[in-house]
Chain A
Amino acid sequence: MTGWWWGRVPVHQRIAFLAMAAFFLAAPAVIYPVFLMKVMCFALFASAFNLLLGYVGLLSFGHAMFLGMAGYTAAHAAKVWGLTPELAILAGTAVSCALGFLSGLIAIRRQGIYFAMITLALAQMVYFFCVQVPFTHGEDGIQAVPRGRLFGLIDLTDVGAMYATVFVIFISGFLLIYRIIHSPFGQVLKAIRENEARAKSVGYDTDRYKLLAYVLSAALSGLAGATNAMVFQLAALNAVHWTMSGEVVLMTLVGGLGTVFGPVVGALVVLAMENYLAQLGAWVTIAQGVIFVVCVLTFRRGIVGELGRFLKKSL
Chain B
Amino acid sequence: MSELFGVPTQALFGQLLIGLINGSFYALLSLGLAVIFGLLNIINFAHGAQYMMGAFCAWFLLHKLGLNYWWALVIAPVAVGATGMVIERLMLSRLYKLDHIYGLLLTFGLALIIQGLFRHEFGSTGLPYAMPKALEGGQNLGFMFLPNYRAWVIVASITICLGTWLMIEKTKLGSYLRAATENPQLTQAFGVNVPRMVTLTYGFGVGLAALAGVMAAPIYSVNPLMGEHLIIVVFAVVVIGGMGSIMGSIITGFVLGLVEGFTKVFYPEASNTVIFIIMAIVLMIRPAGLFGTQK
Contact = CB atoms under 8 A, between A and B. Distances in A.
A118 B239 contact: yes
Nearest to B280: A106
| A interface SS class | helix
Contacts of B284: 105-106, 109
Interface string A259-293: 00000000000000000000001111110111111
Contacts of A131: 272
B294 to A, nearest CB: 9
Interface string B164-196: 000000000000000000000000000000000
Contacts, number: 118
B48 to A, nearest CB: 11
Given A112-B100, A124-B232, A291-B109, 5 more contacts: A124-B236, A286-B117, A288-B112, A288-B116, A290-B109
Contacts of A290: 109, 113
A285 B119 contact: yes
Contacts of B98: 300
8 contacts: A106-B280, A110-B283, A117-B43, A120-B235, A282-B119, A285-B115, A292-B112, A296-B95
B112 A283 contact: no
Interface residues of B, number: 42
Given A109-B284, A121-B232, A297-B91, A289 B110 contact: yes
B276 interface: yes
B143 interface: no
A132 interface: yes
A292 B106 CA distance: 6
A291 B115 CA distance: 15
A283 B113 CA distance: 9
Contacts of B238: 117
Contacts of B273: 125, 128-129
Interface of B: 43, 91, 94-95, 98, 100-106, 108-117, 119-120, 229, 232-233, 235-236, 238-239, 269, 272-273, 275-277, 279-280, 283-284, 287
Contacts of A285: 112-113, 115-116, 119
Size class of the contact patch on chain A: 35 or more
Contacts of A283: 116, 120
A246 B112 contact: yes
Q: Which 9 A-B pairs have the closest CB atoms?
A: A292-B109, A289-B112, A289-B113, A285-B116, A286-B116, A282-B120, A125-B276, A121-B236, A117-B235
Nearest to B112: A289
A114 interface: yes
Contacts of A242: 232
A118 to B, nearest CB: 6
Interface in A12-66: 59
A291 B116 CA distance: 13
A105 B283 CA distance: 10
A47 B1 CA distance: 60
A128 B272 CA distance: 7
Contacts of A199: none
Contacts of A292: 105-106, 108-109, 112
Contacts of B114: 289
A286 B113 contact: yes
Listed residue (A110, A131, A284) with the most chain B CB atoms within 10 angstroms of its CB: A110
Contacts of B108: 246, 249, 292
A122 interface: yes
Contact of B283 (A109, A124, A288): A109
A134 B127 CA distance: 32
Contacts of A197: none
Nearest to B229: A124
Nearest to A122: B276
Contact of A59 (B101, B239, B279, B283): B101
